[in-house]
Structure 1
Amino acid sequence: MRDGKTAAVLDKKHLKEDEIISYMIGYPLNEREEGIRAVPKELPRLENLLEFSDVYFENILHGLDFKVTKGSITGMLNVNKNSGKAVERLLMGLGSADKGEIIFDGKTLLLKSTEQALQAGIAVVPEDDRIFWEFSIEENIMMSALKMNRGLAGRLNRGELKYISGELFSDYMKSACPYCTLDSCVPESRLAQKKIALCRVLASDPALIVLVNPAQTIDVISKDSIYADIMTLKAKGKTVLLITSDIKEMFDVCDRIIVVNQGKTKATFSVTDGNRDQLLQSYGESLRDI
Structure 2
Amino acid sequence: MERPTPNMLAPDPATRQPLLRLTGVHTHIGQYHILHGVDLQVARGELAVLLGRNGAGKTTTLRTIMGLWRASSGSIHFDGRDITRLATSDIARAGIAYVPENMAVFSDLTVRENLVLAARDGPLDAARVDWICGFFPALRMFWHRPAGNLSGGQKQMVAIARAIVEPRKLLLVDEPTKGLAPAIVHSLMAAFRELKAQGATILLVEQNVHVVRALGDTASVMDGGRVVHAGPMAVLAGDAALQQRLLGLSLDTQP
Give yes or no for TM over 0.5: yes
Q: Hey, what does 1:206 align to over in structure 2?
A: 168
Residue 87 (1) aligns with residue 61 (2): yes
What is the identity, as a one-letter code, of the residue corresponding to 2:138? C
Q: Hey, what does 2:229 align to over in structure 1?
A: 267
Q: CA deviation at 1:171?
A: 1.9
Alpha-carbon distance between aligned partners in 2 of 1:216 and 1:267, rounded to the nearest angstrom: 24
Of 13, 34, 37, 1:60 maps to: 34
Q: CA deviation at 1:44?
A: 3.6
Q: How does 1:218-257 map to 2 (within 5 A)?
A: 218-257=180-219
Q: Secondary structure of the residue that 2:69 maps to in structure 1?
A: coil
Q: Secondary structure of the residue that 2:138 maps to in structure 1?
A: coil
Alpha-carbon distance between aligned partners in 2 of 1:251 and 1:203, rounded to the nearest angstrom: 26
Q: CA deviation at 1:276?
A: 6.6
Contact 2:133–2:140 (8 Å) recurs in 1: no
Q: Hey, what does 1:132 align to over in structure 2?
A: 106
1:97-121 deviation digits (Å, cap 9, x = unpaired): 1111111111211345331121111
**In terms of mean alpha carbon deviation, does 72-81 or 104-113 score higher?**
104-113
Q: CA deviation at 1:181?
A: 5.8
1:164-216 deviation digits (Å, cap 9, x = unpaired): 2x334322235441761643433524333222111211134221101100101
Between Structure 1 and Structure 2, the one with more strand by share is 2
Residue 188 (1) aligns with residue 150 (2): yes
**In terms of mean alpha carbon deviation, does 198-207 or 58-67 score higher?**
198-207
1:23-52 deviation digits (Å, cap 9, x = unpaired): xxxxxxxxxxxxxxxxxxxx9451100011
What is the identity, as a one-letter code, of the residue corresponding to 1:79? R
Q: Which has the larger radius of gyration?
A: 1
Aligned length: 230
Contact 2:65–2:84 (8 Å) recurs in 1: no
Q: Hey, what does 2:43 align to over in structure 1?
A: 69
Alpha-carbon distance between aligned partners in 2 of 1:233 and 1:90, rounded to the nearest angstrom: 24
Alpha-carbon distance between aligned partners in 1 of 2:36 and 2:110, rounded to the nearest angstrom: 42
Q: CA deviation at 1:137?
A: 1.1
Of 156, 163, 173, 2:133 maps to: 173
Q: Hey, what does 1:286 align to over in structure 2?
A: 246
What is the identity, as a one-letter code, of the residue corresponding to 1:49? L
Q: CA deviation at 1:231?
A: 0.7
Contact 1:75–1:257 (8 Å) recurs in 2: yes
TM-score (norm 2): 0.81
Gaps in structure 1 of 5+ consecutive residues: 1-42, 147-155
What is the identity, as a one-letter code, of the residue corresponding to 1:192? Q
Alpha-carbon distance between aligned partners in 2 of 1:260 and 1:114, rounded to the nearest angstrom: 24
Q: Hey, what does 2:178 align to over in structure 1?
A: 216
TM-score (norm 1): 0.72
Q: Considering only aligned residues, what root-mean-square deviation do their CA atoms show, in Å?
A: 2.3
Alpha-carbon distance between aligned partners in 2 of 1:229 and 1:259, rounded to the nearest angstrom: 24
**In terms of mean alpha carbon deviation, does 133-142 or 170-179 score higher?**
170-179
Identity %: 23
